[in-house]
Amino acid sequence: MIRLFYTIVPAARDCGSPVSRAESVRQMHDSAWSLLALSLHRLDPQRFPGGGAGQLPEVRKGPYGKPAFADPSLPAFSLSHSGRVALCAVSDSGPVGADVQYTGEIKSVSEMDHIAADFFHSAEQKRYFSTAEPTDRRRLFYTLFCCKESYVKMTGRGLSDAFDGFCTYFGADGVPERILDERTRRTAGYPMLIPFPDPALQEDYVLACCTDRRHAGCRLLYLDLPSKSFHLT
């Protein structure tokens, strides 16, 4: 089972203290780690007591920088943040990658077009550039971007992977159903689009989760964070 936990992080400027973009990103980064600590505590309070700052087990980074618990018996996890949403995925059934994207991050369609031309697989480009309506094209861009990001997070290769070397394929219902690695010509991942229960979040954000097995069970849950963020050194 994969459990996705998300929270809404109030912007510091909303409290009367403007912050730089770098500080805002750091705030969201810390919030994602806080969310992981709290999520583990909620799932198993005896094994993960406290759920606050300093309560995470030892974390190590893989060869491409993917964080994972040093103890292989602990769950796999994946973190993401965008806009004011922080997200963590916790999996007790194998590797997982999760990504959330605020769909207003990139303002112009032309900028999205350039990214699609540089980084999307040719089949993804065909689908994207044949979508004429700007709102639909923007939504498709973030759908493809989220699926691809969640896949490279699952594999642990991250941005070192060639994004045009694998392709998101859609089912007859128009929903992403698998990732094909063009180098091996094999299905390498199964992305899932997860809708937010809040209509406003559903309109402004795209959330994708990727696993190495079809039909993995998945639940999306909201958690409130304590006011003090967890800081990972």
d(CA 219, CA 4): 6
Which residue type does 3 have? R
By the 8 A CB rule, do 85 and 100 touch? yes
Domain 2-222 in CATH: superfamily?
4'-phosphopantetheinyl transferase domain (3.90.470.20)
Interval 109-113 mean pLDDT: 94
41-55: average pLDDT: 78
pLDDT in tens, 115-146: 999 999 999 999 999 999 999 999 999 999 99
Percent of the chain with pLDDT over 70: 91
The predicted structure's pLDDT at residue 216: 79
Domain layout of the chain by residue ranges:
2-222
**Structure confidence by residue, pLDDT tens digits, 60-94:** 999 988 999 999 999 999 999 999 999 999 999 89
- Cβ(11)–Cβ(218) under 8 Å? no
pLDDT band at 231 (very low <50, low <70, confident <90, very high): very low
